[in-house]
Structure 1
């Protein structure tokens, strides 16, 4: 029995190493409306010619994690294959009243709030099954938020490789430097997922960090 257990452990470790070298599961995280799905769509458009899902100005449009497998990225002669997990927006508080301003009925707003809360729980659970994280932050907003600090702490506790995508640099009040100042211990890449700005640098860092 002891021998069988040792064999299982050895081959389990080999399988995990093989997975890490050949295909990585990368989660895209961040607060609502930071641009997570927009970034997932940009990556898929650039490398697959497809999109992950729809985007909306209404917060928590993505309320269930979405998985896209086998996205091959080639940068500077290096190829990595990743499974992309587009996760629901993270928030410390979700109030149905926040949805009413977008014209939703009270019944619909309450349903959306419930689904969004469940989505946050699901997103946190996904962290246990990932090889790395892309954390999307809106570079027009203050990065010192409870959500950002909490999720970075969760990622660090799991010792997951992390790239922070400082998104929306196409907007005039963007300040990626504030994000770098807030989290100097991590790699920060300024991008515009919507406009496709600085994505070459993003892919190069992605290949270096996760390859």
Structure 2
């Protein structure tokens, strides 16, 4: 499920007012597949926020198009942003790379300081402003151990730069983890669960505050959720 990670502060049936981010926002860039910008809210105060583009765009036979959970980066490279035009080299059905571009302002705009996508429908709520800053480095990882609670032996390493409500490593057999440790975590919340649906009680949790610290799980963990705590539409 693709959604904003921030709790909603306002509700209402009317669509929120959108403004083009190229005309209103500063320091706009794409970093590690995140569109980032600093935009004014309705009071004129600046808010820095982000949109995770892999959950908005796909490569369709060498062309970029709007698709939920499209993961364009799996077959596109050398991506750049000029104004609101996002350009990449994307593989077509024959495996050859071709130039592809898309106007991000077709579905992404500034809504009272927040960059948000209306790809799945009109924006009728505005997120509250998170106190967690947008990371300067998105290369955070989670190393998991199957042997003991000391994290001495790493059996798997998970990139945190793919927010998810629930995920696990499918090896064809059930794998349980006893401990874990994050590295370079600048704002993700990672929760560990004892079932593959992530509906059990949380058996372990990681945030920036315990980055680099080995955490032994209360019960063997098999799956996890990854949530950005900063202003993020994903």
TM-score of the pair, normalised by structure 2:
0.25
TM-score of the pair, normalised by structure 1:
0.27
- Which one has a larger percent strand, Structure 1 or Structure 2? 2
- Which one has a larger percent helix, Structure 1 or Structure 2? 1
